[in-house]
Structure formats: C-alpha cells, structure tokens
C-alpha cells in the first residue's frame, strides 16, 4: 500500500463522447511538467475530490497522448463495465477539476524489439494507439483489436485507424487465439507483445505465447484491465 502520495490536480478542458461506450477527456495540468513521460504511462484518477475525501477510490486510465507544451493529457474512458468509474465519467463537464496520483506505468514502450504484437480490446485501445504511434517507423507491427460491435471502435487521436479490428461477439478467448494463429505474419528478428484488455482473453493469449510459441516472459507485457466477478 502506497502512503503519502502527492495528489495532483488538473482541469478538464474538454470532454466528448466518441460513441456509446467511450468518452474522450483532455486534462490540462501544470503538475504534468513534473513527470518524465514515457508512452505507456497511466493515470490513477480519483472518482471525486481526492483532496478532501479520504479513501476515495481511483481508477486507472491509460495516457492516450501527452502534449508537453500546453501540458495536456488525453484519456479514453469506457463505460462497458457500468461500474463506478463509468458512472463518474458521465457526470463530468468542461472546467471540472480532476484529482490524480502522479502518472507512472508498467506497460511502457519497449523499443528494443524488431517487431511487435499489439493485441487488446476497446478498453485498452488508447494504450495500444499510444505505444504504436511512438514506435519508430521501421518496426513491424501485427495488430489485433477485438470488439463486441463495430460501433465501439474509435480512431486514434489523429483520426487514423492504424490497426486491424475484429468484431467478436460473444467473445470467446479460444476463438481469438485461433484467429491470431491463422493470421500470424512471418516476421524475423525479436518480437515483443502487448496483450491487454479482457481478463480471460489476456490469460489465454499469454499462455499461447509462452507455451506454444515459446516466447520468454521478458518478451510479453500481459495485463487484464479489470478483475472478473467470480461466477456464483
Ligand atoms: C493498466 C491499466 C490501464 C487501464 N486503462 C484504461 C483506459 O484507458 N480506459 C478505460 O476505460 N479503462 C482502463 N482501465 C480499466 C479501468 O481502470 C477500470 O478498471 C475499468 O474502467 C472499470 O472501472 P469501473 O469503475 O467502470 O467498473 P468497476 O466498478 O471497477 O467494475 C464493475 C464490473 O464490471 C466489469 N468490468 C470492468 N471493466 C469492464 C470492461 N471494460 N468491460 C466489461 N466489463 C468490465 C468487471 O467484472 C467489474 O467487476 C485500465 C486498467 C489498467 C489495469
């Protein structure tokens, strides 16, 4: 448990609903000047005023883009969960003050590989966009974004759709694996994979890369983006 974290704050300068389930937020803060930004950072945002309400819950959101001149961060917040964070985002309006812990992250860009697998769902899409945009142009990328509906897919910050998107509904992790197996390119050199998003799919694909493709753990960044409620 972390203690004595300095709570930072910023102003919501724009909030826009991109589609049924995704809100795009632009947050401006002088506190962002203090960070040594690395693509792949996340922001732990308090679901309310973190300065006056002790023990307020936070939710982690990926930094979709950082613009250092005006100190503006973009995030994409999804509402598929219908949970606390999803309800909170729908109450926000321009000018609101948001509270967060200093940005940091573990799913950072790794530029040492020759080629990349970027695999995830809509909730992790902004994270993968940020990694992809910051990889140097000579890197080869295999992408696989799975969505429940075509309507859930939103473009990158520059309006582009740089990935391959697949509608898979119902989401069956083994089906995602089969499709990836069928599509896999023949890249040479060292690979690195980001496997993010829906928990069961992340676990299935992580096992596939480790056990069938024989990739080392240090070539994999796998992260379920939320915890499953246990079946009763
Ligand atoms: C490294 C990291 C980066 C993240 N980046 C983002 C981001 O950029 N944007 C973003 O929206 N979220 C992101 N998340 C997820 C985010 O932190 C929340 O966990 C998620 O949005 C759900 O929070 P909630 O309060 O809305 O729902 P909760 O109240 O926490 O969850 C309610 C229930 O809904 C289910 N659930 C949760 N999330 C989803 C989902 N996406 N789809 C379907 N069911 C779900 C779960 O079973 C959960 O028990 C990230 C998580 C991690 C670990």
Q: Kindly write down the DSSP assignment for every residue of 142-180, as one continuous string.
A: EEEEEES-GGG----TTS---S-EEE-SS--HHHHHHHH
Determine which residue's CA is closest to atom 30 belonging to ligand 1: 83
- Is residue 48 reached through a cis peptide bond, with omega within 30 degrees of 0 on the bond before it? no
Q: Which helix (H) or strand (E) holds 131?
A: helix 125-134
Whole-model pTM?
0.96
Structure tokens at 132: 């992809």
What is the rounded average pLDDT of the residues 16-40? 98
115-224 has the same fold as 8-100? no
- Domain 115-224 sits in CATH at 3.40.50.80
Q: How far is the CA of 62 from the centre of ligand 1 (A)?
A: 11
- Given CATH 2.40.30.10, say whether it is the number of domain 8-100: yes
Radius of gyration of the chain (CA): 18
Q: Where are the domains of the chain?
A: 8-100, 115-224
Band (60; pLDDT cuts 50, 70, 90) = very high
For the cut 90, the answer to whether the pLDDT of residue 171 exceeds it is yes
Q: What is the mean pLDDT of the chain?
A: 95
Q: How far is the CA of 226 from the centre of ligand 1 (A)?
A: 5
Length of the chain as a residue count: 232
Q: Which of 77, 226, 229 is the pocket-test mutation for ligand 1 (most atoms within 8 Å of CB)? A: 226
């Amino acid at each position: 448990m972390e203690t004595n974290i300095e709570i930072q704050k910023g102003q919501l300068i724009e909030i826009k609903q991109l589609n049924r389930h995704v809100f795009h937020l632009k947050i401006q803060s002088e506190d962002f000047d203090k960070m040594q930004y690395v693509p792949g950072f996340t922001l732990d945002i308090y679901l309310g005023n973190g300065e006056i309400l002790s023990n307020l819950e936070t939710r982690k959101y990926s930094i979709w883009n950082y613009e250092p001149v005006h100190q503006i961060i973009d995030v994409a917040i999804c509402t598929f969960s219908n949970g606390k964070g999803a309800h909170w985002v729908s109450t926000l309006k321009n000018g609101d003050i948001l509270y967060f812990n200093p940005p940091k992250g573990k799913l950072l860009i790794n530029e040492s590989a020759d080629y990349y697998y970027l695999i995830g769902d809509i909730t992790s899409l902004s994270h993968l966009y940020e990694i992809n945009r910051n990889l140097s142009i000579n890197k080869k990328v295999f992408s696989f974004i799975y969505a429940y509906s075509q309507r859930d897919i939103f473009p990158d910050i520059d309006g582009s759709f740089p990935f391959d998107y697949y509608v898979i509904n119902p989401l069956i992790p083994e089906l995602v694996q089969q499709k990836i197996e069928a599509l896999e390119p023949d890249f040479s050199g060292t690979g690195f994979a980001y496997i993010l998003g829906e928990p069961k799919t992340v676990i299935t694909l992580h096992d596939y890369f480790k056990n069938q493709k024989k990739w080392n753990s240090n070539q994999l960044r796998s992260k379920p983006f939320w915890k499953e409620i246990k079946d009763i």
